[in-house]
Structure formats: C-alpha cells, structure tokens
Amino acid sequence: LSLRCVATSPRTEEAARRLGLAVEPFGTFERLDLAIDGADQITPDGWLVKGGGAAHTREKLVAISAERFVVIADSRKPVPRLHGPIPLELLEFGLGSTLRRLGTVHLRDVPRSPDGGVIADFTGHVGDPAVLAEVLSGHPEVWSSMASSRP
C-alpha cells in the first residue's frame, strides 16, 4: 500500500510525520482519493461543525478536492441541533467592517491560521443551520466551520 498524505495544518503535519507518514504539499496532487477529518458537533439531519483548529480554509479545500470525505467523531459529538460557538476564519482586510456586519462574533486570542486568517467564533443564535450557512457564505471574507453532509 502506497500512502501519500496532505496535512491541513502544521500541527497535523507534525503528528503525521511522527507516525512515519509521507506528507506532501497539496499542490503536488491533482485530486485526492480520501479526506478524513473530525467534527465537534453532528446533528441527526447531517449538519456538522468542524473543529476549531484554525485551519478552516485548508480543510474545506482538501474536503472538496477529495473523491470521498469521511468524518470521524466520538460518542460525545452528536447533538440534537447545532449551537455556538461556530468557529470562523476571517480575512484581516476589512476586519472591522466584517465584524460589524456579522454582529455576534468573538475574536480568539490564538495565532493566525496557516494562511494568515484571523480566528473567531460566531456566538449568536444558530437557529436553522442552512440559513446561517447561507448568511456566512454570503461574506467572501468569512470561512465557516459549518458543513452539511447533504448534497
């Protein structure tokens, strides 16, 4: 079995290398067979909040590039409905304007993402996940950790 890996964060890359896995830059692949990631919340109707590990943009790019995307979570992760905080990655350019338009967002006191994104949490009412996902995706400078397993 030949296994070549892409890591979405420096921390994941370091862990993979310690395990003896061959980690290569994402740009060397035209496609990925499989992407595996974790989640912090999973609802019965297929919505999930991915982890707050501050690599949202990279995780989304890897997930959409893979033929199959598998989410692994332990028994503490199923929830009846999504709740805050919802991790976000924000573009620094125009950050004040973004924060004003989003409203209830709290900036985290953590290092930037590997690509320089500002890490924050949406702390407002989640309500209908599809509506919130649409609102957040309407801001090109915002990358949300929300996803749906439904097409």
Output b/e per residue, 11-26; b: 16+ Cβ within 10 A.
ebbeeeeeeeeeeeee
Q: How would you classify the pairing of strands 146-148 and 41-42?
A: unpaired
Pick the catalytic residue: 13, 30, 59, 134? 59
**Catalytic annotation on 59?**
yes
Please give the positions annotated as active site.
Answer: 59
